[in-house]
A and B are shown apart, each in its own frame.
Chain A
Amino acid sequence: MSEFKETFNSSLGKKLIMALTGLFLCTFLIVHLGGNLLLFKNDDGYAFNVYANFLTHFPPIEVIAYILYLCILVHTLYAIILTVKNRKARPVGYAVTASDNASWNSKNMGLLGSILFLFIVIHMNDFWYNYKYTDKVGFKEYRTDLSSGITQSADFMPASAKFENSVSTENNTEIVRVKDLHARVQHSFGNLIYVIFYVIAMVAVAFHLKHGFQSAFRTLGWVHRKYTPIVEFIGTWFFAIIMPIGFALMPIVYYFTRS
């Protein structure tokens, strides 16, 4: 056991932890983006609310969610530990430093990461803490006529404070009652300051992953003449361009189409 402890306390071991937690967070972002694309479905939040309900009530997802929160904390903690050690390795700084020997984002991962951590705290407070642990999020009832497939939505006030969700069928009509996270998303994305902060955070995530994704593979030792270009392609085009744009479009679209 002490050998593993020694391994993960070494410089390379700490980098390994950064790489593995970072890549896990990257895979999460793919799922998160996929799920949140339901926001663009024009159904008064039916699909999105059912999806949010599923995420919070399906035990395996709950387990993965706590692993995810742990990864965020470990990634942050190790970033701080490594930064402190790196500062100690250069107690007296340079008077002149060149800017043309490495990319700006690769040298400012800490700054970008700090913006992202702040974002995650605000984001999780809004859409996770309030959803799960407060009654700030109301309920909605969706009635789908099973013969015609038409869905109608209405606000719903549960009789009991302990009500979480229900699915029932009566008179050939399916009734789904779930928490209306969609309304909260609409409310938040109607606030300009909030939208700007979200877009800035997505720019930060773009620059963070442009460097971070391929850097994680380098740390793992997976550098190969044939495969590294593929890793860099995915890191640049998917993680640094398509994905942040996808996420940023959500607050932008909601802000400009708000009623």
Chain B
Amino acid sequence: MSANNLNLTLKVWRQKNAQTAGKFVTYKAENISPDMSFLEMLDVVNESLVHKGEDPIHFDHDCREGICGMCSLYINGHPHGPKRAITTCQLHMRSFHDGQTITIEPWRASPFPVIKDLAVDRSAFDRIQQAGGYVSVNTGGVPDANEIPIPKVIADEAFNSATCIGCGACVAACKNASAMLFVSAKVTQLGMLPQGQPERYRRVQSMVAQMDAEGFGNCTNTGACEAECPKEIKMTNISRMNNDYFSAKLFRSEELHEQSQGEG
């Protein structure tokens, strides 16, 4: 029991399911250690709710070390909370002060329907990924490592884009609920490398088509996505995606492959 422990007021979005309307419910989080992560704080609150026989607050989480992309939470106006370049599980309670009111909301976007409370269904991202976010590899002998030379700047840029964990913070942060940072990161990580070349222009067309079909909004280059991304994915990717897309649509003879047939 440290003297530095925090007493907080939480305004939490409670919603039974996608069909019913939600509302904010206020909870007290008392005697919270500043060394707790934000999710651990919610665990403590949930434990007390369970003791009282109430329905615990539903929220997504998995690895709790910032790599799985499962945790979400829109905390005081910021996806993954007020700190830069971290996920909610990496956010510690020392980032808040005693007596503070914390508003916790789910990602809000129509392609991300609320499952319950703070948990949203992000399978729209999976469908975008399935539409073209892969490379086809032939089976055969194992190639030697580094067999294909790749310039370091290209490898770095592709790898930086590949750090996207698909958490959806970009959609949550965007005033237009646009998924373009996510899609462009996926397009870039594959499209910049030699292995991704054969499907490069098909990929960008099918992934953008799926993104539009899911009902995400349209980018206006505000830069909120880049600012809030826990993996600091750059907005440059969006321009790169646009470049590939316009190039594919306006200057190349390739056609968009059939969505329904999947690979092939």
Interface residues of A (CB under 8 A from B): 3, 7, 10-16, 82, 85-86, 88-99, 101-103, 106-107, 109, 211, 214-215, 218-223
Contacts and interface: CB of A to CB of B under 8 A. Distances in A.
B218 A15 contact: yes
Contacts, number: 131
Given A215-B220, A218-B238, A96 B249 contact: no
Nearest to A97: B77
Interface string B150-179: 000000000000000000000001011110
8 contacts: A7-B249, A10-B208, A82-B176, A85-B218, A90-B108, A95-B105, A98-B82, A107-B222
Given A14-B218, A221-B243, 12 more contacts: A11-B180, A12-B246, A86-B176, A86-B177, A86-B178, A90-B177, A92-B108, A101-B224, A107-B222, A211-B221, A219-B221, A221-B239
B15 to A, nearest CB: 9
Nearest to B212: A11
A14 B250 CA distance: 14
A96 B223 contact: no
B242 interface: yes
B222 A106 contact: yes
Given A16-B246, A86-B176, A106 B208 contact: no
Given A12-B242, A86-B175, A90-B110, A102 B218 contact: no
Contacts of A3: 249, 255
A94 B109 CA distance: 10
Contacts of A86: 175-178, 217-218
A213 to B, nearest CB: 11
A221 B105 contact: no
A95 B23 CA distance: 11
B50 interface: no
A15 B77 contact: no
A200 B43 CA distance: 52
Contacts of B244: 221
A17 to B, nearest CB: 11
Q: Which of A92, A99, A103, A109 has the most CB of B within 10 A?
A: A92
Nearest to B209: A10
A130 to B, nearest CB: 35
B249 A101 contact: no
A3 B76 CA distance: 44
B74 A89 contact: no
Interface residues of B, number: 50
B219 A15 contact: yes
Contacts of B117: none
Contacts of A211: 221
B56 interface: no
B239 A218 contact: yes
Contacts of A16: 242, 246
B98 to A, nearest CB: 20
Contacts of B177: 86, 89-90
B66 to A, nearest CB: 19
Nearest to A12: B245
Contacts of A95: 11, 24, 103, 105
A3 B246 CA distance: 12
Contacts of A10: 208-209, 212, 245
Contacts of A11: 178, 180, 208, 211-212, 216, 218-219
Interface string B68-83: 0000001011100010
Contacts of B64: none
B110 A96 contact: no
Contact of B110 (A12, A14, A15, A88): A88
A250 to B, nearest CB: 31
B126 to A, nearest CB: 18
A94 B74 CA distance: 9
B235 A218 contact: yes
Contacts of B239: 218-223
B108 A223 contact: no
B4 interface: no
Contacts of A101: 78, 173, 223-224, 227-228
A102 B246 contact: no
B102 to A, nearest CB: 10
Contacts of B246: 12, 16, 220-221
A85 B110 CA distance: 11
Nearest to B180: A11
